[in-house]
Structure 1
Amino acid sequence: MVGVAEVVGRRELNKLATRRALLDAANDLFSVQGYAATTVREIADRAGVTERTFFRYFAGKEELLVEDLVAQMPVITESIKARPAEEPPLVAVERAIVALIEWVRDLHEPTAVSLFLDRRPASGLGRSVATLTLKFEDAMASALGDRLARLDPAPADIDLRAAVYGRTAVAILRSALIRDLQLRNTGAEPRPLLTESIRAAFAAASEGWGPGSASIPFDGQGPSR
């Protein structure tokens, strides 16, 4: 006789499997035909479930993409934490992001990050961009707070500094992504690589702190190649 605990456990496993199947199906379809052209019905069919089942797990297809992006944020934060201790906060962020982008582009399998970098799904994210931005800011602040805590001596206002640096880093990255999208939309050639736009955005931010600033979190030097 099957116990209640076993039934509940099996049910939860089935839910996790269905959720994962929907995420995998979405990634496959987004990579082949793009975010905008992919429908919820196609995602459900690929995952072997009905549209009604799809909406038990996700409010819409944009939530699928955002969840996958959020799930990969630990990769970014761990990369930031692992940067050399002598790097100022924004230097560590820039170099970690550039290294991650170059690594993602070398992958043979599409990921949510690679799709986002290719700009295919971004136009359909809508209101989820705000949620994604806030989560990204929190993740950045957490990683930078960890770095600040390891300084000797550690600053007394770690939480404030980490929050400011985290939000600043995300704003710089958003500026680089927006610039990259504008260049793509205008068909400008030759168009710089996204990594070059990111380096330029961080360099511009470092100039904005100005000489004599009490605390300059960026050294003005691009990442070593």
Structure 2
Amino acid sequence: MATPLSASAPADCRVLGLRERKKQRTRDALVDAAHSLFLSQGYGRTTVDEIAASVDVSQRTFFRYFANKEEVALAVMADAEEFFIDCLRARPAEENPLQAMRAAITEAWRTLGTARHTGPGSVTAALELFELIENTPTLLAAHLRHTTLQEAEVARVLAEREGLDPEVDLRPRLLAAVFGAVVRISHLSWSGDPKAHQAGPDGMIALIERHFDQLGPALAGSWR
């Protein structure tokens, strides 16, 4: 979202800022409308026309923001993942890769789970969407494709932090893949755990922390 400009900024810059903020509001409204419709009547029964109409914009306007229905459905998860990447890039250099990823994912969930973050970009919306994805084969396939791209981005960030070439050193890619698996397992555990489910974002954070606690022993320790 565009940052508000000061009154001393040139007029054309202020207009650009207003325009960008208006575009962001329209995008958020489309995501929010799509999310509500998908949850209330199902992904397959919801059309692009219905999403656009509920925001009082044209189908043409919808396609300025999203290529298709899949993209708007996954926008909540994509935005949350982008925020996580930003958190990861900002982690202190002295943290090892696993510490940085664990701290970044916890920070992202806690920040997006605060009262200030509601609607399409919130943790609650992401958790609701995850259940929809798992029960919709078309969305699950698209989400898994997107997850592969995110793993590659995480690997690049880790490689940059450690000064490694990810094409030569496989550790960033391997750790990114393991991390992605931990997060998805945490999502699945949340969906199947009534207590965690009732706790909402806090329940999800607790599950992520528990799975990370088990990661080291699971990989290196004896299973007997």
Residue of structure 1 in register with 2:32 after alignment:
28
Q: Secondary structure at the match of 1:84?
A: coil
Residue of structure 2 in register with 1:182 after alignment:
192
> Residue 22 of structure 1: CA displacement?
6.0
CA distance in 1 between counterparts of 2:93 and 2:172 reads: 15
CA distance in 2 between counterparts of 1:52 and 1:167 reads: 37
Residue of structure 1 in register with 2:219 after alignment:
209
Please point out which of 96, 100, 118 is paired with 1:92: 100
Per the normalisation by structure 1, the TM-score is 0.67
> Residue 199 of structure 1: CA displacement?
0.7
* Unaligned residue ranges in structure 1 (runs of 5+): 1-15, 213-225
Q: CA RMSD in A?
A: 3.6
Q: Secondary structure at the match of 1:180?
A: helix
CA distance in 1 between counterparts of 2:204 and 2:107 reads: 12
- CA distances 1:88-146 after superposition (whole Å, capped 9, x unpaired): 21221111111111111112432345211344643442321112211221121122112
Which amino acid counterpart does residue 109 of structure 2 have in structure 1?
I
Residue of structure 2 in register with 1:64 after alignment:
72
* Unaligned residue ranges in structure 2 (runs of 5+): 1-19
Q: Which has the higher contact order (CA 8 A, sep 6+)?
A: 1
Q: Which has the larger radius of gyration?
A: 1
CA 1:84–1:21: 2 relative to 1, 3 Å: closer
| Equivalence map 1:1-225=2 (5 Å) | 23-30=27-34, 33=36, 35-37=38-40, 39-40=46-47, 41-51=49-59, 54=62, 58=66, 60-106=68-114, 107-112=116-121, 114=123, 115-118=125-128, 119=130, 121-122=132-133, 123-124=135-136, 125-149=139-163, 159-184=169-194, 193-210=203-220
Per the normalisation by structure 2, the TM-score is 0.68
Which amino acid counterpart does residue 28 of structure 1 have in structure 2?
D
CA distance in 1 between counterparts of 2:178 and 2:158 reads: 12
Q: Secondary structure at the match of 2:184?
A: helix
Assess if the C-alpha contact under 8 Å between 1:58 and 1:64 holds in 2.
Answer: yes
CA distance in 2 between counterparts of 1:188 and 1:181 reads: 6
CA 1:58–1:30: 2 relative to 1, 3 Å: closer
CA distance in 2 between counterparts of 1:156 and 1:25 reads: 38
CA distance in 2 between counterparts of 1:202 and 1:187 reads: 16
Aligned length: 191
Assess if the C-alpha contact under 8 Å between 2:33 and 2:55 holds in 1.
Answer: no
Structure ranking higher in helix proportion: 2
Percent identity between matched residues is 24
CA 1:71–1:83: 2 relative to 1, 3 Å: same
